Amino acid sequence: MAKTYQYCVAENWGKGFIDHNESSRITFVGYPGNVWQVPAYNKHGNLWIAKVAGTVKTRDEAQAIVDAEVQAAQAAWDALPDAEKAPAVESNTRPTDITLED
């Protein structure tokens, strides 16, 4: 059976946003735009979304938020002078597109 996910938007406030017990029970994936992926049909995931006052989004809504953030980052990178784009370090690359899982 394939894993299914749900998405929510919740602002990470730092310490306590994801506590130790939650991280041992839930697999979290964070994306640009404060989009969070958690397992669907999961009691602990639903409790966490309520705790952080997350707003549940469909996959398409979450994808649109992520796309907008990535496109803004790409535009900012494209606007840099060529000298700043030179890969002095490996992490100095243009942001890539992200596709959310169903």
- pLDDT (tens digit per residue) in 54-95: 999 999 999 999 999 999 999 999 998 888 887 766 777 889
* pTM to 2 decimal places: 0.89
Cβ-contact 32, 62 below 8 angstroms: no
Confidence (pLDDT) at 22: 94
CA distance 29 to 81: 32
Q: Is the pLDDT of residue 43 over 70?
A: yes
Closest to 8 measured CA to CA, from 47, 43, 58: 58
